[in-house]
Amino acid sequence: MQTLILTTEGMAAYGLQTFDVQRRVNHFPTRSAVMGLLGAAKGIQRSQHKLLFALSQEVKIAVQVRQQGQKIVDYHTVQNYRSPAGKIQQGTKPTYREYWCDTAFNFAISAEERLIEDLIRHVKSPIFTLFQGRKSCPLTRPLYHSLVEEENPANALMSLGKGLVYSDVRGQHQVATTQLRDLTTVKAQQYAMRKVYICGVHHEPTD
């Protein structure tokens, strides 16, 4: 098993599930966001959810926050919005959307060699345009970073340097765990809870 390393920088908006007027962003890229990047690169359309689910089942993912950035909020109005019950409502609704500026993230995707080769080909030449969560957050650099001979995505990112790692699986220097509803399920736009393993190394301040 190999691990593909990807990198993004700049404005990002990896949001959390919400129907509220406040569209919040998570402090690290969600698993569903990473799957969205991979699916877009491979040309998987929204109507082909079974393909995205199958891809999700084949990969282990970890993300590393190299630089959190600064949060900003943008004001929008939305017409014909969806209610918490999932029904389309007529009219106009104000929303406030959060973004992170000046971010820097690493992503590690571990899978079998045949799939990694396919992913490398597509992230280097994506079929659909790639965004960092929202269309207003385009990529600012090539997505591909490197390929490493490592089967644990958390450990692959820890070897790159400082920055907390949030992983599907346990890794070295685990400091905590959390729960997040961002696991792709068999049903489109419905996500399951997963345990997230947080890894990091404490760096002593230098004089």
In this structure, are residues 144 and 117 in contact, taking their beta carbons and an 8 Å threshold?
no
64: which 2 tokens? 């590393």
What is the pLDDT, as a whole number, of residue 91?
A: 79
> What pTM did the predictor assign?
0.88
pLDDT, tens only, 92-132: 878 888 999 999 999 999 999 999 999 999 999 999 999 99
Neighbouring-strand partners of residue 146? 5
In this structure, are residues 95 and 21 in contact, taking their beta carbons and an 8 Å threshold?
yes
In this structure, are residues 141 and 172 in contact, taking their beta carbons and an 8 Å threshold?
no
CATH of segment(s) 2-17+28-68+103-199: 3.30.70.2660
Give how far Cα 23 sits from Cα of 77, 87, 146, Å: 12, 18, 33
134: which 2 tokens? 């929202």
Return the percentage of the chain with pLDDT > 70, whole number: 93
What is the pLDDT, as a whole number, of residue 124?
A: 97
d(CA 111, CA 21): 38
Q: Are strands 165-167 and 60-67 parallel, antiparallel or unpaired?
A: antiparallel
What is the pLDDT, as a whole number, of residue 22?
A: 74
In the predicted model, residues of the chain with pLDDT beneath 70 are 17-20, 82-84, 86, 202-207
d(CA 159, CA 147): 13
